[in-house]
Amino acid sequence: MAGKIPGALLIFACGASLAADAGIEEFNRALIQATTRMDNAAALALWEDDGITLLPQTQPIIGKKAIAKFLEDVSAQLSGARMEKFEMRCFDIERTGNFATEWCEEHQHVMLPDGKPPFDGRGKMLLVLHRGTDGKWRMRREMWNEGIAGVADDASSKTVKTPK
């Protein structure tokens, strides 16, 4: 009987690990959907209340209220814009307890109103995620910088590493 307990714990631990990975995958899909739809409410729901975003050429944006204001301001500046394409690939998920990190690259093509040329941008992100008491993963920290095409083409997509 005693020999069966470690095996059962190992199976339980592996199952918990797979569930955590599935939760991070679910978070990534939700982020892609919110960004593609330019849905500020859905994007904001992916943040923790005390989240911080570090964007290029801006002061740190601290807290969900400040992030909401930032999203509202950007939406007002882009009134009439439409996301034509949004792609995001994430790599090297590392988990420790209820925290995880991953880095992603994204490409977006936004059609702008009034005959303005479209925006075609690429970025790299480092995300720090936290799993809440409800089991959902949310952003605790986000850092963006400009990206270039093909940076992660040779990387192993969705590599999962768990610290020992």
Q: How many CB atoms lie within 10 A of CB 53?
A: 20
pLDDT tens per residue across span 21-71: 889 999 999 999 999 999 999 999 999 999 999 999 999 999 999 999 999
* Beta-strand relationship, 61-62 and 99-111: unpaired
Mean pLDDT of 149-160: 50
Alpha helices in the chain (DSSP H): 4-37, 40-44, 64-77
Provide the domain count of the chain: 1
Q: Write down the pLDDT at residue 148.
A: 81
Residue 119, domain CATH:
3.10.450.50
pLDDT tens per residue across span 65-102: 999 999 999 999 999 999 999 999 999 999 999 999 99
**Which structural domain, as residue segments, surrounds residue 118?**
4-161
Q: Kindly tell me the sign of the dihedral angle through the C-alpha atoms of 67, 73, 79, 82.
A: negative
Q: Write down the pLDDT at residue 6.
A: 47
